[in-house]
C-alpha cells in the first residue's frame, strides 16, 4: 500500500495563530476518527506577507464576468448614443 503526504500552507494574522492552530488540531482529531493518519504535525513560523489575499480561480472568474457585463453595457450605451446622433 502506498502513502501520500499532504502539505497545506495557511497564512493568518499573527494574533489569530493560536486560535487557528487549536481549531486545526481539533479538526485533525475528528479526521482521525474516520481515517488512518500516520504522523504529521502543525508548524507555525512568522512570514512577511503583502497584506492582500490571493484571488481564487472562482474570484477571478467572477471578476471577469463582471468586467464583461460592464463592457457589454458600455457598448450598448455607445450604440444607443450613436443611433440618437444619426436620428
Q: Which residues of the chain are modeled with pLDDT < 70? A: 50-55
Rg (CA), the chain: 24
The model carries a pTM of 0.50
User: Residue 60: what pLDDT?
Assistant: 80
User: Residue 63: what pLDDT?
Assistant: 84
Q: How far apart are the C-alpha atoms of 18 and 30, rounded to whole Å?
A: 19
Amino acid at each position: 500500500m502506498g502513502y501520500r503526504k499532504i502539505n497545506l500552507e495557511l497564512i493568518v494574522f499573527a494574533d489569530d495563530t493560536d486560535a487557528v492552530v487549536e481549531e486545526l488540531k481539533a479538526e485533525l482529531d475528528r479526521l482521525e476518527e474516520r481515517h488512518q493518519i500516520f504522523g504529521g504535525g502543525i508548524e507555525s513560523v512568522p512570514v512577511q506577507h503583502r497584506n492582500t489575499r490571493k484571488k481564487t480561480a472562482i474570484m477571478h472568474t467572477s471578476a471577469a464576468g463582471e468586467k464583461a457585463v460592464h463592457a457589454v453595457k458600455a457598448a450598448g450605451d455607445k450604440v444607443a448614443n450613436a443611433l440618437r446622433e444619426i436620428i
